[in-house]
Structure 1
Amino acid sequence: MSINEPDNAASRQATQQPGQQSAEPLAEDASESAEMQRDAETQDDSDIELRPSSVPWPPLLLAGFAALAIILGYAAPIEWPGVDDTPARFIGLGIGVLGIVLVVWGIVTLRTHDTTMLPDVGATHLVTSGPFWRFRNPIYLGDAMILLGAAELTKNIWLVGAAAAFAALVTKLAIVPEERHLERRFGQAYLDYKSRSRRWI
């Protein structure tokens, strides 16, 4: 080879336009990005299998909406649209008491099966007995019924709104992730249970 003839590497470098990037770094960046995305998805799958959520949403939502409804009941009261008589009060009391029964029954059933009742901790057993035979979320249903019963007894219409808002947000933030967690954890056994039970009523 003549000393005046540039080698291949020098020739490629000389012909590369200013600002032009090699395809190799771009390919490496794309590969790293795809790998990071796969790692993130794997981490999400692993997290949902370990626990449904990192935040205990149900008690936070229940306490927050109840407190807000009580404050609004004093600050911006709205006239109760229904009747205020003894039968109506007994109906309200019955709804509230039934809600309390569901909550207590659900907690006792979970403890009997040695699994957690905390919404941000992974389940160790699939519980399908007690109130869970019919309802997949008897504790949350009971919470909403307690708010409705309190609304009838106190004639605070804001508590009705609190019950509706609690049901909507607890479904999105707690129930849906819990269902994904239980499906990952227990597979077909949970899907079979899900097919014969109700999310709410």
Structure 2
Amino acid sequence: MSEAEERKGAAVRFPPPFVPLIGLVVGLGLDWIVWPLPNPVDGSERFAIGGAALAGGIALLLIAAGLFRETGQDPKPWKESPELIATGIYRWTRNPMYLSMGLLQAAIGLLCSSLWVVALVPVSLAVIYRIAIRHEEAYLEEKFGTPYLEYKRSVRRWL
């Protein structure tokens, strides 16, 4: 039995959705405690961009989660992946749920007029890569082999 089969999922020890939440709290804290960054985008544009990012993030999350539901899989990365999902939104990005988390963090930052929250999006995504994506990719390579490697070559990690 391979290590991937024994552990039943990727070696992810911290729930990735908490990372953007921490980014949100830290960003708002920096705004409140340290100093707010000047916001160059006026209110109506900020709300339009933030609203579009919010809608896009929610849509992306629901579409990706729907594919897991359709295939009877659990989206939690530490759970077993009995089937490789490479259809729907997964034809364009290997990580639509994590991408949606970044969009949602940026949207909330814009809507709250906190550029710190927006500025911390790349940090949140880098942390998600470190704690989840690299472990998921190793697990999927071991579990699915060549089909996953071909998928990985043809579909970008983000966009």
TM more than 0.5: yes
Q: Is the 8 A contact 2:13 2:131 kept in 1?
A: no
Which protein shows a greater Rg? 1
Is 2:27 aligned against 1:69? Answer: yes
1:163 deviates by 1.3
1:83-126 CA distance string (max 9 Å, x none): 21423321221012101111111111111111120022221110
1:47-105 CA distance string (max 9 Å, x none): 58632114134123222222222333322341333221423321221012101111111
- The one-letter amino acid paired with 2:3 is S
After superposition, the CA RMSD in angstroms is 2.0
Give the gaps of 5 or more residues in structure 1: 1-41
Aligned to 1:5: none
Match of 2:120, SS?
helix
Partners of 1:54 and 1:147 in 2: CA distance: 21
Match of 2:16, SS?
helix
Show structure 1 runs of 4+ deviating over 6 A.
none
1:130 to 1:80, Cα distance in 2 relative to 1, 3 A:
farther
Counterpart selection for 1:186 from 126, 129, 144: 144
Partners of 2:24 and 2:44 in 1: CA distance: 24
Between stretches 83-92 and 181-190, larger displacement belongs to 83-92
1:83 to 1:62, Cα distance in 2 relative to 1, 3 A:
closer
TM-score (norm 2): 0.89
1:145 deviates by 0.4
1:105-157 CA distance string (max 9 Å, x none): 11111111111200222211100112111110000000000111111111111
- The one-letter amino acid paired with 2:113 is K
Q: Is the 8 A contact 1:77 1:156 kept in 2?
A: no
Give the gaps of 5 or more residues in structure 2: none
Match of 2:75, SS?
coil
Q: Is the 8 A contact 1:56 1:119 kept in 2?
A: no
- The one-letter amino acid paired with 2:24 is A
Aligned to 2:61: 103
Between stretches 116-125 and 79-88, larger displacement belongs to 79-88
Pairing 1:45-60 to 2, within 5 Å after superposition = 46-47=3-4, 50-60=8-18
1:88 to 1:161, Cα distance in 2 relative to 1, 3 A:
closer
Q: Taking CA–CA contacts closer than 8 Å with sequence separation of 6 or more, which of the two structures ends up with the larger relative contact order?
A: 2
- Number of aligned pairs? 158
Q: Is the 8 A contact 2:64 2:97 kept in 1?
A: yes
